[in-house]
Chains A and B, each alone.
Chain A
Amino acid sequence: MIAQKFEYTAPKSLDEALHLLSSGAKPLAGGMSLIPMMKLRLAVPEHLVDLRALKDLNYIREAGGQLHIGATASHYEIESSALLRQKCPLLTETAASIGDVQVRNMGTIGGSVAHADPAADYPAALAALEAKFVLKGAKAERTVSAADFFVDAFSTALQPGEILREVIVPIDDARTGTSYKKMVQPASGFAIVGVAARVRQNAGKVSFVRLGITGLSNHAYRATAAEKALEGKPATPNDIQNAAALVTQGVDANSDLHASADYRRHLAVVHAARAIGTAISRIA
C-alpha cells in the first residue's frame, strides 16, 4: 500500500491545469478511485494536478433552463443540494446511494464519470437524463452527449490532456417522476446493477420515458427498446413488466464473483420494473 513517488501540483487556474495535463500530468479529483490504485501501484502517474484546487470547477447552478454541475462537485454536495433536490431529484437520489459517507465527502461527479467504472452509479442517471458533458482541452472546448461519452469499461470520450469541466442536465417539468434502484455489491458499495428511470405521464399514459442502466455491461446505456415499449401505454403492472423485460436486449452482460451474467440480467429487469414503478408513483 505504498505509492510510487509522484509530483503534485495545486494549479492556480484552469489554464495552468490544462497546460500541465497536455504535458502528461494526470488530473486528481476526490482520489477515491485514483489513490487506491496508486497505493497498489496499478496506477503510477508521475504528476498529479489537483482539480479541487480550482474553486471555479465546483458549482451547482441553474442557467438557461438547465442545471450545470461543475466537475469537482462532491457526491455529498450533489446529494444535499437543495436546487438539485427540487429540480433534478434523480441526481440527488443517485449520489446518496454511492458508497459510504467518507467516499461521498471526497469523491466527485467529474472523477466518477471520467473514471467510467462499469458499476458506477452516476452513469445510469446521466444516461437517463441525456446529460451533456463539457470537455475542455488546452485549445478547445466541446460538448458530447451521454451516449457518446461512455465508450467502454473505463473508457470515455475524454482525450489525453482534456478535462471534464461540467455536466449539464435538463430540468424536468412537474409531470415527471424519477427513481434510481440499485442492487448493492456488499463489499464495495458499487452497483451490481443500477437502473435510473425518468417517466412523464400525460392523460393517464406514459408520454416520455428514459431508462439508464449501469453495472450490467461494460458501460452505462439507455434501454431504448424498453422505453419504446412503454411509451404511449397506461403503465399497468403488465406494461411495466413487458417493458422492463426488454432492458437487457442486445446487451453483453458481465459476470464476476458477485453476480453471474444471468443473474445480472435478471436483476436489471427486476430493478427496471421497480424504478419505473417508483418513478410513476412520484409524479406530482
Chain B
Amino acid sequence: MKISGSYTLPVAPERAYQILQDPAILARAMPGCESLEKIGPDEYRMKMKVLLAALSGEFEGKMRIADQAPPTSFRLIVEGSGRIGFLKGDGLLKLAPAATVRVLSAAPSEPPETIVSYEGDAQVGGTMAAVGQRLIDGTSKMMIKKFFDKLASLATDQRDS
C-alpha cells in the first residue's frame, strides 16, 4: 500500500528535523507507543499498543533512520509484528520551510513553519491484512494524523518553554 501526505509543523526545518528524530519526543507522539529505546546508531526498538474501539493489538518492532540529509530529508524504516499480524514500512520524509509558500503574506514576525511531506510503502500481513482491508487506509491516515498533531503540540510546548 502506498502512503503519502503532508503536514505542517509550527517550527523551522532544522528544529523539525531534530524533533522527528528525537526518541523521547517520538515516543510521546506515536499513538500507543509504550517504549522506544535506542539499540544502535539511528536504530530503535519500540513497543506499541494499538487501541481502536473494539480492536486492540500489541506490536514490537524496530525503527531505523537512513539516508540522512539534514534538514531536508531522511528515510524511515519501520518493522513491527504482533499476534494480529505484522507491518513493514519504508518511507521518505522531506522537510521544506513553509515560508517559501507564503512569502507574500507572511508577516516577518510570524513563527516559522515546516511542511513535512512523506511518501512510502507500507506492507501489512497476517490476520490484519486479511480482515482489515476496509480499515487499513483510514486507520493509517488517522494514526499519522494523530502522530503529527501530537508532534506539533510537543514542538510548540518545547518552543514556548
A–B direct touch, CB within 8 Å, in complex? yes
Q: Which residues of A contact B (CB under 8 A)?
A: 26, 33-34, 37-38, 40-45, 114-116, 118-119, 152-156, 185, 188, 190, 217-218, 252, 254-258
Cβ of A26: which chain B residues have Cβ within 8 Å of it? 54
- Taking a contact as CB atoms under 8 Å apart, the answer to whether B136 and A37 are in contact is no
Of A40, A44, A153, which contacts B52 at CB under 8 A? A153
A45–B133 Cα distance when bound, in Å, is 23
A114–B135 Cα distance when bound, in Å, is 16
Shortest C-beta distance, B59 to chain A (Å), equals 13
Of B54, B137, B138, B146, which contacts A37 at CB under 8 A? B54
Q: How many A-B residue pairs have CB under 8 A?
A: 74
Most buried by A among B53, B135, B139: B53
- Taking a contact as CB atoms under 8 Å apart, the answer to whether B134 and A42 are in contact is no
- Taking a contact as CB atoms under 8 Å apart, the answer to whether A33 and B52 are in contact is no
- Taking a contact as CB atoms under 8 Å apart, the answer to whether A118 and B54 are in contact is no
In the complex, B100 has a CB within 8 A of chain A: no
- Taking a contact as CB atoms under 8 Å apart, the answer to whether A254 and B53 are in contact is no
Shortest C-beta distance, A112 to chain B (Å), equals 11
Interface pairs (10), CB distance under 8 Å:
A33-B53, A33-B54, A41-B83, A42-B55, A42-B56, A115-B54, A154-B52, A155-B52, A190-B134, A218-B142
- Taking a contact as CB atoms under 8 Å apart, the answer to whether A255 and B55 are in contact is no
- Taking a contact as CB atoms under 8 Å apart, the answer to whether A153 and B55 are in contact is no
A153–B137 Cα distance when bound, in Å, is 10
Q: How large is the interface on B (under 10, 10 to 19, 20 to 34, 35 or more residues)?
A: 20 to 34
Top 5 nearest A-B pairs (CB, nearest first) are: A154-B53, A154-B52, A153-B138, A43-B54, A218-B138
Chain B: which residue is nearest A217 at the CB level? B138
Check A154/B83 contact, CB under 8 A, given A40-B127, A217-B138.
no
In the complex, B103 has a CB within 8 A of chain A: no
Shortest C-beta distance, A233 to chain B (Å), equals 33
A204–B158 Cα distance when bound, in Å, is 57
Check A42/B142 contact, CB under 8 A, given A114-B53, A115-B54, A116-B53.
no
Check A258/B134 contact, CB under 8 A, given A34-B54, A43-B55, A218-B142.
yes
Interface of A is mostly: loop
A257–B128 Cα distance when bound, in Å, is 14
- Taking a contact as CB atoms under 8 Å apart, the answer to whether B139 and A43 are in contact is no
A218–B136 Cα distance when bound, in Å, is 11
Chain B: which residue is nearest A35 at the CB level? B54
Cβ of A45: which chain B residues have Cβ within 8 Å of it? 54, 56
- Taking a contact as CB atoms under 8 Å apart, the answer to whether B57 and A42 are in contact is yes
Shortest C-beta distance, A109 to chain B (Å), equals 15
A118–B52 Cα distance when bound, in Å, is 12
- Taking a contact as CB atoms under 8 Å apart, the answer to whether A153 and B135 are in contact is yes
In the complex, B84 has a CB within 8 A of chain A: yes
Of A33, A119, A156, which contacts B134 at CB under 8 A? A119
A104–B133 Cα distance when bound, in Å, is 23
In the complex, B38 has a CB within 8 A of chain A: no
In the complex, B131 has a CB within 8 A of chain A: yes
Q: Given A42-B55, A114-B53, output 7 extra A-B contacts at Cβ < 8 Å.
A: A33-B54, A34-B54, A37-B55, A38-B54, A254-B141, A255-B137, A257-B133
Shortest C-beta distance, B127 to chain A (Å), equals 5
Cβ of A43: which chain B residues have Cβ within 8 Å of it? 54-56
Shortest C-beta distance, A37 to chain B (Å), equals 5
Cβ of B138: which chain A residues have Cβ within 8 Å of it? 118, 153, 217-218, 254
- B117-136 contacts to A, CB under 8 A, are 127-128, 131-136
